[in-house]
Structure 1
Amino acid sequence: MAFVHLHVHTQYSILDGFSSISTLFDRAEEMGMPALAITDHGNMYGVKEFFKFAGKHVDKATGHFKVKPIIGCEVYVTRHYDPKLKDSEHRSYYHLILLAKNFDGYKNLMKIVSQGHIEGLYYGKPRVSHEIIEKYHENLICCSACLAGEIPKNIVAGKMDEARKAIEWHKRVFGDDYYLEVMLHKTEVPGLSLEVYEEQKISNEGIFQLAQEMGVKVVATNDVHFVNKEDGPAHDHLICLNTGKKINEEPRLHYTQQEYLKSEEEMAALFPDHPEVLENTLEIASKVEEYQIDRDHVLPKYQIDQAFLDDLDNYLNIYKDVIEVGKCDKKGNYRGDEFCKSVAYLCHITYEGAKRRYGETLTAEQSERIDFELKTICRMGFPDYFLIVQDYIAASRAKGSMVGPGRGSAAGSVVAYCLGITNLDPIKYQLLFERFLNPDRISMPDIDVDFEDLSLAHKYVEDSYGKDHVSRVITFGTMLAKGAIKDVARIHDLSIDESNRLSGMVPDRLSEKVEKEYLFNPDLDDLKPGFKVVEKDVEVDDPDNPGQKKTVKKTYQRGMEDTDVKITLKNCYRLVPEFKEELENGTEQVREVLKYARQLEGCIRQVGMHACATIIGRGNLTDYIPICLSMDKESGQYVWTSQYDGHYIEEVGMLKMDFLGLNTLSIIHKCLDNIKLRFGTDIDIEAIPIDDKPTYELYGHGDTDSVFQFESEGMKTWLQRLHPERFEDLIAMNALYRPGPMDYIPDFVDRKLGLKPIEYDLPEMEEFLKDTYGVTVYQEQVMLLSQKLAGFTKGQADKLRKAMGKKQITILNELKDKFMEGGKANGHPEKMLDKIWKDWEKFAQYAFNKSHATCYAWVSYQTGWLKCHYPAEFFAANLSCNLSNMPEIKKILSDCKAHKIKVLNPDVNESYSHFTVNKEGNIRFGLKGIKGFGSNVADAIIADRAANGTYADVFDFIERLGNSLGRKAIECLVYSGGFDSFGIQRKQFFLPCRSGNLFIDELAKYANLYSQDAANSAASLFGEVEEMKPVRPDIPEMVGTDNEFEWLQKEKEYVGMYISSHPLDKYAFEIESFTNCELADLNKKVAECEASKKKMKVAIAGLVTEYSTLTTKTGKPYSKTKLEDYSGAYELALFGRDHEAFMSYMKPHENLYIEGDIEEKYFIKPEERAQGKTSPYAFRVKKIMLLGNVNETMLNAFSISITTPMLTEKFRKDLVSLIQANRGTVPLKMFLYDPQTKYNIEFHSTKFKVAVTTELVSALKLLGVQCVPVRK
């Protein structure tokens, strides 16, 4: 006798199942079970992974599964699902097990499960109706499920007749493929669920009775939720996480901890009088066929233009060479007439596009490249793929939405360039097609596309191919190391401080010594320290016998090398001393937390939706994959989502596209709109000159804030040294400015500036390295050089690129032999070839994809060109696209000031919907950016102004807008500054008129009366219409002085930022020079110190916005002060002596400079520390002063740094003029750096002393001068 588990939950029964699929198969094979089912709750999330691990348990002799996979689901069933019905019968559901007998059953199961998610979702439960089950029941086996099943529920409730009726229905639908389930979970462990066993006994007794009475077979199941018996407590923790309960909290949900993958013997012991219930599981397993769910790619059918089809025979003849190459698949099977049509159409529109790109006559290189690519694409079977991609890109552009110039390796395709998929010529920039599609490696193309408007792209493919043909892709969020600790700490009621301390011990990087071996040539290679030389037999291709192998001896060096390891708790507990200490000497509670966090790590915690992956199918997707629903944040709608994640989508034949949203495209588009609005000029951003000198000067000055991918301080520093002069310099910097290749930037810069000679290891290398001054920067350079120097094929070159990037040492050793042999055959010295290879090995793991770097350098150049020539319009666009990103807003506003561009409040006479530029070249805040201000009101203001001209005064505005306005709208405009241009101060709106009412209330009343009067004019005694206008309210006179701070606070409340001014603006230099932390980052710094157990000195600055004095439980006073800076807010609490010492500074509206230490919050005695007691860290104030006193107190001198290339006559005059205009008392120093000699000369000015102001520093930075305060 044997047994098969037919009711099994994996971790894809999220926060309920604890079973790892790989462990399930290992254990099932270990116990000799011939098959195993997966029946997760209401979903098929884990089915592909289930098949994957089944495939790892195959008998090599027979090719059959050792443990046959049975695909199923525990569905939630309601009798007659109708979303309109609210009574309990139609809202309730019960459990039912469905198992697929074969591939057709699998397809029906997908239909049922998908329908539950699409139509039957109710409080998170995907319910299916009897009608749906009956419609798709064929080739499915049905079992009655657990106590939550319909039959057990009725039996336990004493409703035997209802149970009979239910059995009759299931028998009618499924016939002999319907089985009743029995299970028995006896437990005597205190605290676990004892009721389940009692109810199961009642249910089982009724099931055996009804089975005999009605002729239905019974199977034993165990409702498996974890693999091994000892996993029960960990599963209990998972249930606590699911239900939000503490481990010691009662009442809460308990399982019996008997729900594990029991052996045949354990199951037989539960039903000694009914051996048939085990035998029947084998009967079910025997009904299930062995089948695979993977399939060849099923691409959607592209609808070819009818005009082309009308002349099809002609085109088939023109492109017969390409068609001949691709018309049969690799097995020789004819792909069909429709495929040949697609090939011909792809060729046709490619060559039409080539005329637009290159002109009527193509060069030999262009023709050969296009022909090679088309033949490769069609041989691999992907013509429809390219047709579909070009279609939705063209559609987005046609609807006025910007699309990126390309990204990733697809930019290496000339066909993609001709089709408009990409916008940069790969031949011109030496971008490689085989980096994108390797003829030696059959895999789906992967064209990622950047869109300005993602929703538009999604809507287009849904409309074009059908909503039920399109879906997004699911993601599974797992518990990672830090998160697992925090989750379990919460279950164990550990304090937040202690939870943060433990999770903070997880490092960002882990390494250990691992044995490695490399090919070794004693004449060429140095032996690595600690390595030893070994010889071993290796199989290689036999050149004398093609297709045969021979064994040769090769020499290697072998030794231990530091290698990064995955950050898991298992590795942390081995390698991190603090964890070892806690596991050995920590409290019992802490040890328990660490124990169960380790066990729960890796469990699936939630599902999500992939940010960019989209599936397009040939038919209804539920015919191919199971579907669920996810919330699309952009549209606010539920959208179809695959139940298989991105790793598996292509394996089941689906076409996955990546649609990415790129905010920079929105910025460019809005900038172009702003230019059109102000100047009436249409600019084709794809046609701007690529050799624009002022734009490269902008890069050379480091003026690249908001310039795509060139914004960081480090990048700006290198740009100031490099002084880029051509587009290739930007491509190289985009590729080099990343961790790893950054080390090569100094050499690259020095060679470009002539400070180092440009050298090539071999003369033949100049062709591919001249654009990067002899430095290997790109993967494509390695690929091209391997072909030129050693005769690699294009496929082999791509294999080399991949092996170097992924450090695939075995493949690299194999390819090194080929490189050395090929290079020597081409006459190159062995020693030089070895040097080149070693250089590649060091750098190629960091070498970047030139195709991607080129595309993104072009987007960067576009933003740089716009900033250079239309700075105000560019900044306005950036502000419009970053309204919710306050740190970015802060940077943009600072950049506006540096460029002497004002950002003005909203104004009813100048503002449009978003940020725009007025006639004076200043930026005007958009009406739709005002918080609480109706979009319809904004549209009405803009439309009326366009039709009838500007508003003369506030009364003209009120009269023309009429009942579009309420008090709230008027208030929004007052506080945001929308009426400032009418000459009425904001305070006046809140002063009383002669009527005694506030002016703002009188205006709201006037708006209402005026609109009523326009609609209902009074009639005279003679039947004539007499116009009776309401009287305009009087404007109250200004009384007293304005509290500027209060109005600025209101302004910030309504527009999200300070626009008129910022209370800290005049102290920008002091803040930048003397602080080292923004308020928004202070808590993060505290967490870092706590994790590293190190103190940190911190200097902050901020504006006091709130202050309160409170009393501790012991009656002592303490204070809470809210500080704000440009980044955000921070609440500072002061106790005891700190409160007494600093309370005098804590006045609302004061601007403060604060120094302090991040250190342990509490004093720990040495003996307590020895016992493992610790303290959380906190920020402790040591010193406070007014920001206005900082320069006087802390500044010793002001230093400026310039380079010799900057010393033009114009620069000298501008610099002297600036210094003369800012005379003061601070001594001036100047450093002059010469890049050629690398001398740095210091000058002390005896003539000039300066007043250090924010305005001076901003002006100097615009000249490219670096400013450094010299502290006392």
Structure 2
Amino acid sequence: DSIGVFQVESRAQMNMLPRLKPRCFYDLVIEVAIVRPGPIQGDMVHPYLRRRSGVEAIDFPSPHPDHGPADELRQVLGKTMGVPLFQEQAMRLAMVAAKFSGPEANELRRAMATFRRRGTIDRLKEKMVGRMTARGYPADFAERCFNQIKGFGEYGFPESHAASFAHLVYVSSWLKCHYPAAFAAALLNSQPMGFYAPAQIVRCAREHGVEAREADVNHSLWDCTLEEAKDGACALRLGIRQIDGLRETDVQKLVLVRDCEPYSDVRDLWRRSGISRASLEKLASADAFRSLELDRRQGLWEVRGLPKKIPLPLFDHADAAEAGVEPEVALPIMPLSEHVVNDYRTLRLSLKAHPMSFLRDRVAASRISSCAGLRSLRDGSRVSVAGVVLVRQRPGSAQGVVFMTIEDETGVANSVIWPKVLERMRKVVMGARLVVVHGRIQRHEDIIHVVAARLEDRSDWLRLLSEAGESLSVPIANADEIRRPNPGSWRPLPEEEEPLLPVSPADHVKHPLPSHERPHPRWHPRRHPREERIIPKSRDFH
């Protein structure tokens, strides 16, 4: 539920939310501050959570009665249950418990400089621990306090900073809860940003009851917009900005002319808007001609049938009369899986289906669970789960652990990859687009992880979307079939590369080609556009 919400959309924050269970604004302040390298390295997170849940008693050690009041630490750490979570608390703790002077506290502040690995904080240990024990504090408590303060050298938040961020968390959460369509539209119009790609933002909005509508030449603007839905709520209309390769200036021309009268067909759109045939092909490839009663394949057919130049109206009628009525061509229906592949290639998302839905039979036959199926498994159960990789994270404070989020048509699953597994399977972990994770379930209340023991790169399954299932039940159109390489379909390899396959005179005998089409020994074919991007790359944070 926190996808797209400022500051709490990361994996670590998502895992912390159900454990901390914020109930008031100050809880959000703590939520923002606690998932930072400083509190994590200073071992402040678990003590705070144990005290908050009642597992551990809230304790405020006191100095000897001769050296100060018994509640002096309660005044410093009372709001955070005896655990220092903010930089101000660390400095105040040193001043109250170890009687640091103003200059000494300022030296401590400088030692806790943001992102400083070591700094000068170790020089202050003897001074702080010695003074605290001299005032009657237990030695182990004094040592623990110093280690917690030392953790802030890895980056921690001032309370004022955390409060400012918490205000934005509250506002973002309120907007997402009460106006999910507007929230999603704003996020999409601000891309690229955040942890999640447009596909996940739209999926999350639909899970919250938002109707999402396709980008269309007669309905969409450049930005994503809101439209009235049947139930009186707002629907999300995808903007043409989602389509790769189109310029905003072209879309502005398209919209300006459309305001006078909607487009009736492809030729009308071409003549009135004046945008190029290349841009029209991009619109057709993105299936943006549905209001013209054309699907993706029909739209491309119509665009490629346009003349090279826009004819003048007088000659247009004459040419049409001379050419006569062109017979209608019944194009093969494009299967849904092909539509989804092309949606991802052109829009980076699909409203029609999730790619994994077409692979479900194959996955189920291999006894691989869906992401939603993990909820019914017990802690420690062996499991295999497959999905498209959304996010990879390797925080500096996680000691080499990688966190991977994958998605299928039922939801998302989170996996933990320990350094030893990463060392064995680095290529799969860092490069796979679709992965199968084999491991064990780890449950803590409502938080579920798959602790990975082995991973498989099954990115090759994505290429089956245009060959398996529905695609096998219809003939392949001749226009989609390449019988032999095109003259321009070869590109030279860089000098340092070797040819993929040796080309010998015998190869030319087996596969005779005209001289202008024979591959150079150091050339290799381009990939088909469909292969260039079936699924958008994951968002990786290291």
TM-score of the superposed pair, with normalisation by structure 2: 0.58
Structure with a larger share of its residues in strand: 1
In the alignment, which of 342, 354, 367 is matched to residue 1062 of structure 1?
A: 354
1:917 matched to 2:226? The reply is yes
In the alignment, which of 265, 283, 295 is matched to residue 954 of structure 1?
A: 265
Partner of 1:811: 124
Deviation string, structure 1 residues 122-168 (Cα, Å, up to 9, x no partner)? xxxxxxxxxxxxxxxxxxxxxxxxxxxxxxxxxxxxxxxxxxxxxxx
What runs of 5+ residues in structure 2 fail to find an aligned partner?
63-70, 113-117, 361-367, 375-383, 393-403, 405-418, 428-451, 468-481, 483-499, 507-526
For 1:1035 and 1:801, the matched residues in 2 are separated by 81
Paired letter, 2:235: N
Contact 1:768 / 1:785 at 8 angstroms: preserved in 2?
yes
Partner of 1:1008: 310
Alpha-carbon distance, 1:980 to partner? 0.6
1:857 matched to 2:166? The reply is yes
For 1:744 and 1:732, the matched residues in 2 are separated by 12
Contact 1:970 / 1:1004 at 8 angstroms: preserved in 2?
no
For 1:1059 and 1:902, the matched residues in 2 are separated by 10
1:1097 matched to 2:460? The reply is no
For 1:740 and 1:854, the matched residues in 2 are separated by 17
Paired letter, 2:91: M
Deviation string, structure 1 residues 870-921 (Cα, Å, up to 9, x no partner)? 2222223333333599963343244234324344331123212123333233
For 1:838 and 1:868, the matched residues in 2 are separated by 44
In the alignment, which of 138, 151, 155 is matched to residue 846 of structure 1?
A: 151
Contact 1:748 / 1:773 at 8 angstroms: preserved in 2?
yes
Contact 2:73 / 2:93 at 8 angstroms: preserved in 1?
yes
1:769 matched to 2:77? The reply is yes
Partner of 1:671: none
Deviation string, structure 1 residues 355-387 (Cα, Å, up to 9, x no partner)? xxxxxxxxxxxxxxxxxxxxxxxxxxxxxxxxx
1:940 matched to 2:253? The reply is yes
Deviation string, structure 1 residues 937-968 (Cα, Å, up to 9, x no partner)? 201122334x43x6163269528x62513322
Alpha-carbon distance, 1:780 to partner? 0.8
1:723 matched to 2:34? The reply is no
For 1:1087 and 1:781, the matched residues in 2 are separated by 38
1:831 matched to 2:127? The reply is no
Structure with more contact order per residue of length (Cα contacts < 8 Å, sep ≥ 6):
2
Q: 1:1004 to 1:770 in 2, by over 3 A?
A: farther
For 2:57 and 2:125, the matched residues in 1 are separated by 31
Q: 1:1055 to 1:1091 in 2, by over 3 A?
A: closer
Partner of 2:33: 735
Deviation string, structure 1 residues 381-403 (Cα, Å, up to 9, x no partner)? xxxxxxxxxxxxxxxxxxxxxxx
1:1051 matched to 2:343? The reply is yes
For 1:747 and 1:811, the matched residues in 2 are separated by 24
For 1:976 and 1:1098, the matched residues in 2 are separated by 33
Q: What SS is found at the alignment partner of 1:1103?
A: helix
Partner of 2:58: 758
Paired letter, 1:707: V
Paired letter, 1:1008: I
Partner of 1:978: 288
Deviation string, structure 1 residues 523-552 (Cα, Å, up to 9, x no partner)? xxxxxxxxxxxxxxxxxxxxxxxxxxxxxx
Alpha-carbon distance, 1:974 to partner? 1.7
Paired letter, 2:45: I
Alpha-carbon distance, 1:755 to partner? 4.5
Partner of 2:445: none
Contact 1:958 / 1:1003 at 8 angstroms: preserved in 2?
no
Q: 1:753 to 1:816 in 2, by over 3 A?
A: closer
Task: Report which of the two structures shows the higher radius of gyration computed on alpha carbons.
Answer: 1
Partner of 1:506: none
Paired letter, 2:274: S
In the alignment, which of 959, 962, 968 is matched to residue 278 of structure 2?
A: 968
For 2:291 and 2:24, the matched residues in 1 are separated by 46
Contact 1:879 / 1:892 at 8 angstroms: preserved in 2?
yes
Partner of 2:177: 868
Indicate the percent of aligned positions where both proteins have the same amino acid. Answer: 22
Aligned residue-pair number: 388
Alpha-carbon distance, 1:975 to partner? 1.7
Q: 1:1004 to 1:1052 in 2, by over 3 A?
A: farther
Partner of 1:779: 87
Deviation string, structure 1 residues 494-546 (Cα, Å, up to 9, x no partner)? xxxxxxxxxxxxxxxxxxxxxxxxxxxxxxxxxxxxxxxxxxxxxxxxxxxxx
Q: 1:1030 to 1:1047 in 2, by over 3 A?
A: same
Q: 1:892 to 1:1004 in 2, by over 3 A?
A: farther
Partner of 1:133: none
Q: What SS is found at the alignment partner of 2:197?
A: helix
In the alignment, which of 33, 48, 68 is matched to residue 748 of structure 1?
A: 48
Q: What SS is found at the alignment partner of 1:923?
A: strand
Contact 2:289 / 2:299 at 8 angstroms: preserved in 1?
no
Alpha-carbon distance, 1:781 to partner? 0.8
Partner of 2:10: 712
Contact 1:807 / 1:845 at 8 angstroms: preserved in 2?
no
Q: What SS is found at the alignment partner of 1:918?
A: strand
For 2:193 and 2:268, the matched residues in 1 are separated by 30
**Any residues of structure 2 matched to 1:185-196 within 5 Å, and which?**
none
Q: 1:1091 to 1:983 in 2, by over 3 A?
A: closer
Contact 2:286 / 2:296 at 8 angstroms: preserved in 1?
no
Alpha-carbon distance, 1:1091 to partner? 8.2
Q: What SS is found at the alignment partner of 1:786?
A: helix
TM-score of the superposed pair, with normalisation by structure 1: 0.27
**Any residues of structure 2 matched to 1:445-484 within 5 Å, and which?**
none
Paired letter, 2:127: E
RMSD of equivalent CA atoms: 4.7
Deviation string, structure 1 residues 728-768 (Cα, Å, up to 9, x no partner)? 22222222223463443333234334444433224222233
Contact 1:1104 / 1:1124 at 8 angstroms: preserved in 2?
no
Q: 1:1086 to 1:903 in 2, by over 3 A?
A: farther
For 2:166 and 2:132, the matched residues in 1 are separated by 32
Q: What SS is found at the alignment partner of 2:205?
A: helix
For 2:300 and 2:5, the matched residues in 1 are separated by 43
For 2:11 and 2:218, the matched residues in 1 are separated by 39
For 1:783 and 1:888, the matched residues in 2 are separated by 40
For 1:876 and 1:983, the matched residues in 2 are separated by 26
**Any residues of structure 2 matched to 1:1004-1153 within 5 Å, and which?**
1008-1009=310-311, 1012-1013=312-313, 1036=328, 1038-1065=330-357, 1070=369, 1072=371, 1074-1075=384-385, 1088-1089=423-424, 1097-1101=454-458, 1102-1105=461-464, 1126=535, 1128=537
Contact 1:907 / 1:980 at 8 angstroms: preserved in 2?
yes
Q: What SS is found at the alignment partner of 1:1054?
A: helix
For 2:209 and 2:199, the matched residues in 1 are separated by 15
Paired letter, 2:77: L
Q: 1:954 to 1:771 in 2, by over 3 A?
A: farther
